[in-house]
Amino acid sequence: MDQDLGLLVLRLALGPMLVAHGWNKVFGPGGLKGTTGWFGALGLHPAWLHARVAAVTESGAGLLMTVGLMTPVASAAFVGLMVVAALTDHRGKGYFVFKGGAEYTVLVAMVAVAVAALGPGTWSVDHLLGVAGWAGGWWALGAAAVGSLSAFSFWRLAFRRTESTAEHVQPG
């Protein structure tokens, strides 16, 4: 019971946080137009497409993590999102978040991998469906590998350095 409570707390810390990020990309002060401009400035092209993909991925992965459904998939998506964030917005800014560094993205990705290792717990949809056994070291390694490889592939295909990206993304 204590481990199930701990896993629920972890999922409720991660999931709604990422849903809020996805929601903000669409409905925040700048809306999707602002997100598109920001992604373009980060060097992600076509920015309009990546703004939408990020919003949907964040919202979807966050919802999956919150309810504990397809937990290894959600964990892989968390890792992928955080690796892309580290490679774009946080790149070249060091480790500490107060300097814009990747501390936050590393922590979120590592906690998501830990949830993949431990599983979602009995208070989850995965448990109700009888697939809560999709957990352990191999699932965690898979989530880390799939998320990281997807992110690096995505970044290599999407990233285009321009003059505006030089202001936001320092060489790393």
pLDDT tens for each residue of 35-84:
999 999 999 999 999 999 999 999 999 999 999 999 999 999 999 999 99
pLDDT above 90 covers what percent of the chain? 84
pLDDT beyond 60 at 163: no
Per the model's pLDDT, the better-predicted residue between 60 and 168 turns out to be 60
- What integer best gives the mean pLDDT of the chain? 92
Concatenate the DSSP letters of all residues of the chain into one string: -HHHHHHHHHHHHHHHHHHHHHHHHHHSTTHHHHHHHHHHHHTBSSHHHHHHHHHHHHHHHHHHHHHTSSHHHHHHHHHHHHHHHHHTTTTTS-S-GGGT-SHHHHHHHHHHHHHHHH-S-SSSHHHHHT-TT--SHHHHHHHHHHHHHHHHHHHHHHB---HHHHHH----
